[in-house]
Every structure is written in structure tokens, then in C-alpha cells.
Amino acid sequence: MSACRPIASALKNKLCIFAKKFFMKNVILTISILCFSIFSYSQSDTVKIAANLTPEQIAQNDYNSGLNYLNNNNPSMAIQLFTQALQNMPNFEKAYYNRSLCYIQLKNYPEALKDINQAIQLKPSDEYYFTKSLIFFHQNQKDSLEQTLLKTLVINPNHAEANYYLGMLYFNYQDYDKALSYYQKAIQSKSDYAYAYNDLASTYLMKNDIDNAIKNYELAAKYAPNQAFIFNNLGSAYRQKKDYNKAIEAYSKAIMLDNNYFIAYINSGATRLEKGDIVGAKSDFEKVIQKDPRNSAAYNGLAGVYIKEKDYKKAKEMATRAIELNPDNGQAYYNRGIARQMLREEDAACEDWQKALKLGITPAKSFISTDCAD
């Protein structure tokens, strides 16, 4: 659009000079040349005015172009077009809405909020309110998020995503009953909502309703069969139920989907250890270390293995390595304390448990009170 103007100007100048030269000789010719110039201009956007397009139509064209850029991940260009559209059509609420989406992508939340508010003012729809709630979500403004989501549901109680986000919010508040209710509503509106099934399952897990957790993780996996984290969660639910074989099967599936998903390896190793399969557990942790030699959790896992094998010297070594890699690994301090105690390094063991407690490992407290009272 704007590229045409410089070219048109240059041409015009040239024709004017030419016209001056020929003005006296041929006025008609000059007029013709001028008409030609105008015709040339008709190929650019600005010429559409001359082609009898209304401002609304121009705005629509700009809007469509903007949408095109937005869908192709070019929010900056999209913003310019939406802005133009709004110049021609100031009450174009869709332009405000989509410009808001552009600002969200660019993480410019104040501008996003301004635009979405404008959109809402023009048309208070559930989608606009939901978008507004996303802005609060990204800014971690929980109160505003809650209010806006609830507003969305007033307009449309079956808004699947709004219900889902409310579920998440209440999960974070540890109000699991409310979380359950909203996740279920999300699923009612969208029966293949894999993430909602996953989160619903997690809520059941927090309420120690393992059977329902498993059931919903299975459904999440059915609708999103390529998401490793869902299988990992499923594995953990089986592990809590002490169905170790199924847990390991789920973790293995997670690993198959993403063989750099170290979390699943660690969980699998922990499960095998609980089951008594020390060899299998060791293998899991060693695999992680092969791929990620600086993985503190894996070294801590090996510390656990050696504790079970009563090789306390090795256990201490592994736990020490875990701590070197991550000085905030409270579990590693805890395990090193166990190893040190059995090596008769009692004072050092107590120091480790104190450190573990400071790092939030509350089970260390009982060891400190019984074994370190001297």
C-alpha cells in the first residue's frame, strides 16, 4: 500500500515537468496525461477511495489482512492493520479484540487490556471476557482473573475454557471441590477436552480418590495420546495405589513418547525401588545420568538404591554428588544423613537432616528429635 505512493509521486513530478513543457502546445494531451496518472494510482489502496469503496469496506480489508498476519504469527504487522481498520471504523469491536490478541502475543498486557476493554464496551461477549481473563492469567492477578472468568460464565455458562481456567484457579487455591465442579463443567461442554480430564484427575489425586484419578487420566490419554506428561501423571496415580506394574507401564509409555522426559525415568526408578526391584531402579537412574550427567535427582535416586542395598558408603557418595549439582536438593541431604548415620558419622548425619529440614523436607524433623537430641 504505502509503496505505491513514492512511485506515484515521482511519476507525477515527471509528468508535471513534461506537462509544463508541453502545456502551451497541447492542453488536451496534458489533461490526458493527468488522467493516466490518476489511473496509475488506482492500483494502490489509497486509490480505492477513488474507486468508490466505503470506509467500512476499507476497514474490513485492513482487518482481513491483519487477521492474515495474526494467523501467520506476525502480530506487529497485524497491529498496524487493525489500527488502520479502526481509523476507518472506530467501533470495529473485532479489530479491538484481535489487536488485543496481538498485544497478548507480544506480552504487552496493558495495551491488550485497553483494547479488550474497548471490545467489551462495544460488545460484551463471553469470548471477549474470556480473553480479558487470559490477560489477568498471564499477569498472575488471581482476583481479577476469577472475577472475569465468572463474568464470562454469566454470559455463557458452557464456555469450556472459562470453566477449565476456573478449575485451575481453584486447584491452586486448594479448593478441590470447586475445582472438580468447574473441570466437570468444562468436560460437559467439550467432551474431548484432554487437558480438563488431566486436571480433573489431578484434583481427584489431591483428594486421595485414586480410582477416579486413574479413570480420568486414562481419558486424558485417550484424547491426547501423544502427551508424555499425562502418562507420567497416570503412572504416579498407579504408584499411589501401589499398583507398581501398571505405574511402570505408564512411565514407560511416557518415556517412549519423549525419551528425554527425565521426570518419568526418575518416577519409574522410584517406583521400582518401592517395588523392590533394585536392579531396575538403578538402571532407570543410570539412564538419566547417561543422557544428562548433571541431573541431581538421578544421583539422589542412586543414593536411595544404595541405601536399600545397605552400601552406605556408595549411598553417601551419590547423595554428595546430587548435592554438588543442586545445593537445594533437600531429599539428597536427607538420604545422605541416613547413610552417614549408618556409617557412624552421627554428628554429620544430624547436620544433614537439619539442612534437609531447612529445605522443606519435614520428615527430617522426626529424625532430628529422636536421633540428634544429644
Give the residues lining the site for another protein (CB under 8 A): 164-165, 168, 171, 194-195, 198-199, 202, 205-206, 220, 227, 229-230, 232-233, 236, 263, 266-267, 269-270, 273, 296-297, 300-301, 303-304, 307-308, 315, 329, 331-332, 334-335, 338, 341, 344, 361-363, 366-367, 369-371, 373-374
Assess contact for 254 and 246: CB atoms under 8 A. Answer: no
83: left (phi over 0), alpha (psi -120 to 50) or beta: alpha
For the bound state, the minimum distance from the C-beta of residue 201 to another protein, rounded and expressed in Å, comes to 9
**Nearer CB in complex with another protein: 109/229:** 229
**Nearer CB in complex with another protein: 94/272:** 272
DSSP string over 164-207:
HHHHHHHHHTT-HHHHHHHHHHHHHH-TT-HHHHHHHHHHHHHT
**Nearer CB in complex with another protein: 122/278:** 278
**Nearer CB in complex with another protein: 102/221:** 221
**Nearer CB in complex with another protein: 129/334:** 334
For the bound state, the minimum distance from the C-beta of residue 157 to another protein, rounded and expressed in Å, comes to 21
Look at the block and give the residue holding cell 475454557.
Answer: 161
Q: What is the DSSP letter of 44?
A: S
For the bound state, the minimum distance from the C-beta of residue 152 to another protein, rounded and expressed in Å, comes to 16
∠ CA 57-61-64, rounded to 5°: 135
**Nearer CB in complex with another protein: 259/369:** 369
The Cα 290–Cα 260 span in angstroms is: 11
For the bound state, the minimum distance from the C-beta of residue 49 to another protein, rounded and expressed in Å, comes to 46
**Nearer CB in complex with another protein: 37/181:** 181
The Cα 234–Cα 239 span in angstroms is: 9
CA trace torsion 11, 50, 76, 96 (10° rounding)? 160
Tell me how far the alpha carbon of residue 211 is from its chain's centroid. Answer: 28
Name every residue whose Cβ is closer than 8 Å to that of residue 250 and which is 6 or more positions away in sequence: 231, 232, 234, 235, 238
**Nearer CB in complex with another protein: 99/253:** 253
For the bound state, the minimum distance from the C-beta of residue 67 to another protein, rounded and expressed in Å, comes to 25
For the bound state, the minimum distance from the C-beta of residue 112 to another protein, rounded and expressed in Å, comes to 19
For the bound state, the minimum distance from the C-beta of residue 304 to another protein, rounded and expressed in Å, comes to 3
For the bound state, the minimum distance from the C-beta of residue 172 to another protein, rounded and expressed in Å, comes to 8
For the bound state, the minimum distance from the C-beta of residue 203 to another protein, rounded and expressed in Å, comes to 9
CA proximity to 331, closest of 366, 298, 309, 372: 298
Give the burial class of 13: count Cβ atoms within 10 A of its Cβ; 0-12 exposed, 13-18 middle, 19 or more buried: exposed
**Nearer CB in complex with another protein: 78/318:** 318
∠ CA 305-309-315, rounded to 5°: 55
The Cα 167–Cα 280 span in angstroms is: 38
How many helices (H) and strands (E) the chain has is answered by 22, 0
Max CA-CA distance within the chain? 117
**Nearer CB in complex with another protein: 151/316:** 316
For the bound state, the minimum distance from the C-beta of residue 151 to another protein, rounded and expressed in Å, comes to 20
